[in-house]
Copies of this chain bind each other. A is one copy, B any other.
Amino acid sequence: MPKYTPPLRDIHFVIHELLSAEKIFASLPAYKEVDKETLNQIIEEAGKFASEIAFPLNQVGDKEGCVRRDDGSVSTPAGFKEAYAQYVEGGWPSLSCDPEYGGQGLPQLLNTVLYEMLNSANQAWAMYPGLSHGAYECLHAHGTPEQKKLYLDKLVSGLWTGTMCLTEPHCGTDLGMLRTTAHATSDGAYSVTGTKIFISSGEHDLSENIIHLVLARLPDSPKGTKGISLFAVPKFLVNPDGSLGERNRVSCGSLEHKMGIHGNATCVMNFDGALGSLVGEPHKGLSAMFVMMNAARLGVGMQSLGLTEVAYQNSVAYAKDRLQMRSLTGPKEPDKAADPIIVHPDVRRMLLTQRAYSEGARAFAYWVALMIDTELNHPDDDVRKDTADMVTLLTPIVKAFLTDNAFTATNEGLQVFGGHGYIAEWGMEQYVRDARITMIYEGTNTIQSLDLLGRKVLGDMGQKLRKFGKIVEAFIEDEGVRKDMQEFIDPLADLASKVEKLTKEIGMKAMMNHDEVGAAAVPYLRLVGHLVYAYFFARMAKIALTNKASPDSFYQAKLFTARFYFAKLLPETAQLIRAASAGSKTLMAMPADLF
């Protein structure tokens, strides 16, 4: 049976020692009273909920899955409903929500930490409150006063939950093709008709009402993505006083049988003249939905960090416990029948890969969360603009780099267990199956890569990328004089200049042939991901070196992990640069009928 311990020490390190979050909060009026003690106390409580309530339901959720009854209702696995009730009772849904609607008004960073731990504990379960929080953010940003009044406090408290309904059988990536329609009714509402698929948390028994945010076309809509509107369609109609009215004409047609995240209900949702209200302006639904999508992309990053961390913890425990073979350099525990497998270099490679990806992801994702807090709350326009640019640039990297790495990491975790890793009861294969979806949903990793290279980098002539580059350069300049930092600064500087050069090269080629963007995008995103991680591992190494004499062995471990990252994972950049430079010719030359 797997285990999970919230990694509080590393979380504290990243928040307080690496990012100095309290200092940043002191500059944000909304959070100026959020001090270290408050942060740590909430994080500790969140860790307890994750490890004690959500985690024990992870395997049973996978085994039981969700069940759709003949009446279209869906029951979640044993214990899910009770855990959700405790989550609501604990006030967790409201953590970073607007106090005007009953929220606690705490930073996004805290919500990010909460979701790391919830996802280590139980990804399928965490998707119920996760989607709901996205719906809250979307309505908070784009809802009408009436929608806010009717829905927000219930979403904030967790009494109701939410979904996002985008995909249809014939369109996922290409939302311009969507066919679901909406017609104005005589009383100012809209009647929505169509079929949506892959709707996570679409129907379930956790909450008394579900608010679906649905993309659909109005009758007079332009073709393509510019003719899509967004509607709020509740499962039960809501009376003006907020009480529940009639059942709306939206129902779960079936549940998908999936590779993983069995505990989450992935629904085919049928809208059959369901009544809803328009969110935001007509035909501008996609930009409203993107508020939710961007939050969801960071959320998917947190799923990946959570899975990476829990897979790491379990494979370390197994590697210390499992006795098999002797060390190549002679017995390390001669009294035992064999050495624990952690003595073997390649087992350590697998463990350290997971560890480095977990620590790198935590530093990176928490930093982005802090920038979101800054973007939304800083009094200075320029600071808001700069951090908004950073968040825009980095969101696809959080999504794609973390999810690819989580799939690698959970697979390494499985591999450490040998044959036992393939057996369900040990829990490791579930992490691999659960992780696999994160590379697909909320925009496939190819789409993220195109978004990064095409839109965010080349689309503004590299301006946003240069902002990030300046942050890296400043660090290199500051620390380059320290002799003990050379081992980190040199490869970081080398990579930074290679990324700059490659970006220019691709930009030149792309002007002649747009397929060059498509051909380079995936390796390019991973390359920039490594630049980000190299920057953070160098920063973390600096703190570790500064605390070298500390009796707290945490700093030594951090230094070992940073060195491993630079020696063994960063070399991937050599491949990525070659693959990204190799261009589109060998991809596009073969006529389709020869495949």
B174, B517, B595: the one within 8 Å of A342 (CB): B595
Contact residues in B for A567 (Cβ distance below 8 Å): 582-583, 585-586
From A323, A344, A425, A557, name the one whose CB has the most chain B CB atoms within 10 angstroms: A344
Question: Would you give the 0/1 interface string for A565-595, flagging 1 where the beta carbon is closer than 8 Å to chain B?
Answer: 0111001111100110011111111101011
Closest to A340 in B: B592
Residues of B within 8 A of A568 (CB): 579, 582, 586-587
CB < 8 Å: which of B432, B522, B553 contacts A346?
B522
* Interfacial residues, chain A to chain B (CB-CB below 8 A): 167, 170-174, 176-177, 197-198, 256-260, 316, 319-320, 323-325, 327-329, 337-338, 340, 342-349, 351-352, 355, 407, 411, 414-415, 418-419, 421-425, 429, 432-433, 436-437, 439-441, 444-446, 449-450, 513-515, 517-519, 521-522, 553, 556-557, 560-561, 563-564, 566-568, 571-575, 578-579, 582-590, 592, 594-595
B588 & A345 in contact (Cβ 8 Å cutoff)? yes
The residue from B197, B415, B556, B573 contacting A439, defined by CB atoms under 8 A apart: B415
9 smallest CB-CB distances across A and B, nearest first, come from A345-B518, A571-B578, A560-B590, A328-B514, A259-B429, A574-B574, A575-B575, A257-B424, A557-B594
* Contact A556–B594 (Cβ < 8 Å): yes
Contact B257 A346 (CB under 8 A): no
Which residues does chain B contribute within 8 Å of A444, judged by CB atoms?
Answer: 415, 418
Asked if A345 and B587 make an inter-chain contact with CB atoms under 8 angstroms apart, the answer reads yes
Give which listed residue, B344, B425, B571, contacts A582 with CB less than 8 A: B571
Which residues does chain B contribute within 8 Å of A176, judged by CB atoms?
Answer: 338
> Closest B-chain residue to A583, C-beta based?
B567
Report which of B344, B573, B589 forms a contact with A563, defined as CB distance below 8 A.
Answer: B589
Question: Which residues does chain B contribute within 8 Å of A584, judged by CB atoms?
Answer: 345
Specify which chain B residues have a CB less than 8 angstroms from the CB of A352 in the assembled complex. Answer: 586-587, 590
Which of these, B337, B563, B583, B586, contacts A560 with CB under 8 Å?
B586
- Bound together, the chains give a CA A432 to CA B422 distance in angstroms of 12
Contact present for A346 and B571 (CB under 8 Å): no
Q: How far is the CB of A345 from chain B (nearest CB, A)?
A: 4
A346 touches B595 (CB 8 A): no
* Nearest CB in chain B: distance from A105 CB, A: 35
**In the bound complex, CA of A343 to CA of B519 (Å):** 11
> Which B-chain residue is minimally distant from A319 (CB atoms)?
B595
What are 21 residue pairs bridging A and B, where the CB atoms are less than 8 Å apart in the complex?
A172-B324, A173-B418, A256-B423, A257-B425, A260-B422, A316-B595, A329-B514, A344-B446, A346-B518, A346-B522, A348-B587, A349-B587, A352-B586, A415-B446, A418-B440, A422-B436, A433-B433, A553-B594, A560-B590, A567-B582, A571-B579
In whole angstroms, how far apart are the Cα atoms of A338 and B170 in the complex? 11
Q: How far is the CA of A436 from the CA of B430 in the complex (A)?
A: 12
Chain B residues lying within 8 Å of A407, measured Cβ to Cβ, are 411
> Which residues of the partner chain B approach A446 to less than 8 Å between Cβ atoms?
344, 346-347, 415
Known: A340-B592, A345-B584, A557-B590. A518 touches B328 (CB 8 A): yes
Among candidates B327, B440, B515, residue contacting A329 with C-beta atoms closer than 8 Å? B515
Per the bound structure, the CA–CA distance linking A167 and B72 in Å amounts to 47
- Residues on B with beta carbons closer than 8 Å to the beta carbon of A324: 171-174, 177
- A450: nearest chain-B partner, CB-CB: B346
Instruction: Say whether B174 contacts A338, CB under 8 Å.
Output: yes
Give the complex CA separation of A260 and B514 in angstroms: 40
Cα(A568)–Cα(B595), bound, Å: 17
Determine the distance from Cα of A568 to Cα of B576 in the docked complex, in whole angstroms: 9
In the bound complex, how far is the Cα of B320 from the Cα of A575, in angstroms? 29
Which one of B258, B342, B343, B575 lies within 8 Å of A574 (CB-CB)? B575
| Bound CA span A340–B593, Å | 12
Distance between Cα atoms of A439 and B416 in the complex (Å): 11
B418–A172 touching, CB < 8 Å: yes
B424 touches A588 (CB 8 A): no
Chain B residue numbers with a CB within 8 Å of A171 are: 324
A429 touches B423 (CB 8 A): no
Of B415, B515, B560, B572, which is within 8 A of A328 by CB? Answer: B515
Q: From A345, which residue of chain B is reached at the shortest CB distance?
A: B518
Q: Which residue of B lies closest to A519 (CB)?
A: B345
- A440 neighbours in B (Cβ, 8 Å): 415, 418-419, 421-422
Cα A433 to Cα B586 with chains together (Å): 30
Contact of A348 among B325, B342, B346, B588 (CB under 8 A): B588
CB <8 Å contact, A563 and B586? yes
Residue of B nearest to A312 (CB): B595
